[in-house]
Amino acid sequence: MTAQDRSSRLSPECDGHDALLRSARWLEVGDDDPRVPPAFVIEFSSAAFALPAFEQHGVPLPAALQRAVPKRQAEFLAGRIAARHAIERLGVVASIPGIGSSREPRWQPGVTGSITHTRDLAGAIAVEASAVRGIGIDFEEVIEAAARDAVRELAFTPGELALLEKQHGHLSDDMLLTIAFSAKESLFKGAHAAAGRYFDFSAARVSALDADAGRLTLTLAETLCPDLPEGSCHPVSFRMLRPDTVATSFVW
């Protein structure tokens, strides 16, 4: 039985009878890296969200989100439901991850992982904390034309943009930009705990991208911690979830 086959058995709340949670599945996001488990991915509808859904699904509503807009509350709920399934896959009783000072998930002892969402997809992975130093995943919809210039200026150097512009193949320029942006998000999620501080997009630079292999390389432009020194190179895997949506993953 494949991970995808197990999804219906593991997710009765995603069986088509819940207007908020439309569907769920297990999805490989880590290329062939055995350290990256399948992600539990939920398709959800923010328009169908109402506050009682938190109690219905057994997820506490954090105080920090009590005044958030419904869309943000729906994203949080779907992400935490996905995280619960990802943790249960490890064979342990799952505790819903809390929220840290930098809005990062706070995982239960012995577990680490990553949570991500778009406007209608939420995904999570979880691993035994002893198995990796850090892990991160990110889902991104293709960057819209109106945001393109701002993203280019915020997240990339001229050299990185030149490298992306030299790519040829089936991916559009905007999707290549989205993949590179998402890769940096995955790196941040996977390295933040070890770094012990906030770092921005300038901390890592795109140094290689192989669209056919689904792999991008980030080179650190600053030292994040002793085991993530300036100049070190780190692969990030990517795959398309939809024609307009990419998933990236980073593990070390």
The binding site for CoA comprises 72, 80, 116-117, 138, 185, 189
Annotated binding site for Mg(2+): 138, 140
**215-220 and 204-210 as β-strands: parallel, antiparallel, unpaired?**
antiparallel
Annotated binding site: 72, 80, 116-117, 138, 140, 185, 189
